[in-house]
Each structure stands twice: as C-alpha cells, then as structure tokens.
Structure 1
Amino acid sequence: MLKNMDMDMKVKFLHGFAHKIRLQILECIKNEEKTVSQIVDAIEGNQSNISQHLACLKGCGIIAGRQEGKYVYYGLRNNQVRDLLTMFDVVLEDVESDVATCENHIT
C-alpha cells in the first residue's frame, strides 16, 4: 500500500498529464523535439499559455528542454514517458465506451 506522501506525489505527477493542452503538447513532441514556436503552430495555441504548460510539464519531470543557439528544444524526458503515453492510448481504446458514458467523474 502506498504511503500518503507517495500517493500525493503520484497525484502530482499524474496532474501533469491531466490537461488537454498538456496532452496535445506531449503528443506533438512524442516522436521529436520541437521549439515553442513549432509547438504553438502545431497545436494552434497561444504562446504564453503553451509556455506555462511547458513549465508545468518540465517541473513535473515529464519533458526536458535543450538549448541550441537561441532556441530551446522540448522533448519527452525519456522513453518511459513515451511508453506511458502509448499505454494511455491502449487502455483508453479498451475502456473508451465506459469513459464516454461515465457520469461519476469527480474533479
């Protein structure tokens, strides 16, 4: 059984994935690094908003930034994060109809 601190840490980590824009960013950089401008263009977002979400993802250790000249390239921190995103898709495919009809979502 997880201790409360471990559970709180897990919830904090999962929060990094729990926003539509953050998931869009993760899907955008899943297979290759991109700059903020490339991410903004790809997901048709607002640069300030995207930057805030990138900071959240970086702060949670989900992504990493790499400076090259005047640009910062963002990518997934490691292959395990890529595997986790893929596993989300696999599990969701199995439970999609249940999720779609769930009326008990607690926020």
Structure 2
Amino acid sequence: MVRRLAVGEARVVDLVDQLGLAQSTVSKHLACLRECGLVDSRPVGRASVFTLTQPALIDLLRAAETLLAATGDAVALCPAYGTSEGGQA
C-alpha cells in the first residue's frame, strides 16, 4: 500500500483493485497510516484520495527489506528470539 502511494495518490477503490485486498482491510490500514501521520487524505466528490506524507518511508522500507533479505531467516530461526516464547530483544 505504501509502495503504491509512493507512486501517486489513490482512492480506496484503486488500492482495493490494485492490491487485491478487501475494502475493509484497505480502509483499516489507511486509517492506521493516517493516525501515524504517514498518509493524508482529501475529499474528491464522494471519495477520499490518499497521499503519502513521508516519502522517506520508501527508503526506510527498502533498507528494511534489504536487511531482512540478508538476515530474516536467521532472526526467525534464532532459538532465543525466533518465537514468542523466547527472550526479548
């Protein structure tokens, strides 16, 4: 969803169509992102158009994806931290 909004503004219906998610799921995620100050919306007719307010978020996500690609399995399989029963980070 964030990647899509990085390309340009979108309505909920656009995100539903492009991401293949339920409308309720998209709306809930957008509400969360808006509460966090990561997206904003403006009314256009009966719809709302959403935009990404923090373009630097894309750089952060790319860095996280790179890190997880390099270490994700190690973290998931770590005996101390890989399960909710393990230790805390």
1:96 counterpart letter in structure 2 = G
Percent of pairs with identical residues: 29
2:29 aligns with one of 53, 60, 63:
53
Give the structure with the larger strand fraction: 2
For the 8 Å contact 2:38–2:52, the answer to whether it is kept is: yes
**Partner-residue secondary structure (3-state), 1:67:** strand
Q: Does 1:101 align with 2:57?
A: no
Counterpart Cα distance in 2 of 1:33 and 1:105: 38
Counterpart Cα distance in 1 of 2:42 and 2:60: 22
Counterpart Cα distance in 2 of 1:47 and 1:79: 24
Say how many residue pairs are matched: 83
TM-score (norm 2): 0.72
Query: 1:53-105: CA deviations, max 9, x gaps?
Result: 21111111121113233332212212222221222122222213314534523
Q: Does 1:69 align with 2:53?
A: no
For the 8 Å contact 1:76–1:82, the answer to whether it is kept is: no
Q: Does 1:40 align with 2:20?
A: no
Counterpart Cα distance in 1 of 2:18 and 2:78: 31
